[in-house]
A and B are shown apart, each in its own frame.
Chain A
């Protein structure tokens, strides 16, 4: 992924803040297309589980959760540039995400959702 990654210094965006945000390598257009193709393949695999005959719920969860997390991470990392941008953006977003997962996992547990 990093072999022919372009360096976008973004001419015209010359304020200090933007220079700090953007002096990083971003994917090229071709790499964006490859990333989208990977996402499409994972989505096809997800939809494929719908056609399984009487699947066990545990098997479905074991198959679908990793695919969901990979898709989420790829979109956030590459399309949203979290992989390349200032780490503070990643921290802010991950904080909200982890807080949401923690709060609602506790809420679901307290309401005996898992049983």
Chain B
């Protein structure tokens, strides 16, 4: 085969996508995260619906612990909600920083986000232990079961997010996080913001509307 023939030969069909990006023009990893978040809407939709159906149907346990309004400490939960909301701000600032190539600033915002997330979880642990001390356990009545399942699942999501955040911080400390893989931070940011928007719904439907 001549040189000219080599120059005009079509590209092999097995050429790796990573050199030019996928044919769709969008990031596969980011799309996968959005698909996961879309499907997670169904999980939380099921848990929220179940809670709404069952919260006033308890027939067992102490009478005063069958009604959510007698149990919740709204001012305390409001502070927790505010903390989680502000963690979304720090996460957005971390993503913006890594896109500008400011690794150190990104790391500071990631640590701040993890601390705010940990504060939220600490508040949830305090809330759960307070309920248990007052006599409302997971099996006390159907309201307790639905409440602990819903908010517990959300708490697990936040905890997984904190673990991811600390992993990103470790990567940055080892010099493996810079502007070239900023999308990793952005994709994780999507997960963290989703956890926040789910709490926005839970806070209104579970805590504020009697």
Please tell me the size bucket of the interface on B: 35 or more
CB-CB under 8 A from B129, the residues of chain A are none
CB within 8 Å of A: which B153-210 residues: 178-180, 182-183, 186, 189-190, 193-194, 196-197, 200-201, 203-205, 208-210
Within 8 A of B (CB), among A34-93: 35-36, 39-40, 43, 46-47, 49-50, 57, 60-61, 64-65, 67-68, 71-72, 75-76, 78-81, 86, 88-89, 92-93
**Is B126 an interface residue, CB under 8 A from the partner?**
no
Question: Could you tell me the distance in whole angstroms from the C-beta of A55 to the nearest C-beta in chain B?
Answer: 9
Q: Mark B1-37, 1 if CB is under 8 A from A, else 0.
A: 0000000000000000010111011111011001101
A35 to B190, CA, bound (A): 17
Q: Which residues of B contact A (CB under 8 A)?
A: 18, 20-22, 24-28, 30-31, 34-35, 37-42, 44-46, 48-49, 52-53, 74-75, 78, 81-82, 85-86, 88-89, 91-93, 96, 99-101, 178-180, 182-183, 186, 189-190, 193-194, 196-197, 200-201, 203-205, 208-210
A72, B197: Cα distance in complex, Å:
5
With A88-B31, A113-B52 known as contacts, the answer to whether A40 contacts B85 (CB < 8 A) is yes
List residues of chain A with CB under 8 Å of any chain B CB. Answer: 8, 10-13, 15-22, 26-29, 32-33, 35-36, 39-40, 43, 46-47, 49-50, 57, 60-61, 64-65, 67-68, 71-72, 75-76, 78-81, 86, 88-89, 92-93, 95-97, 99-101, 103-104, 107-108, 111, 113
- Shortest beta-carbon distance from B175 to chain A in Å: 14
Taken together as a complex, chains A and B put the C-alpha atoms of A26 and B92 apart, in Å, by 11
In the complex the two chains form, what is the Cα distance from A12 to B99 in whole Å?
9
Taking the closest CB of chain B, its distance from the CB of A1, in whole angstroms, is 14
> Chain B interface mostly helix, strand, loop or mixed?
helix
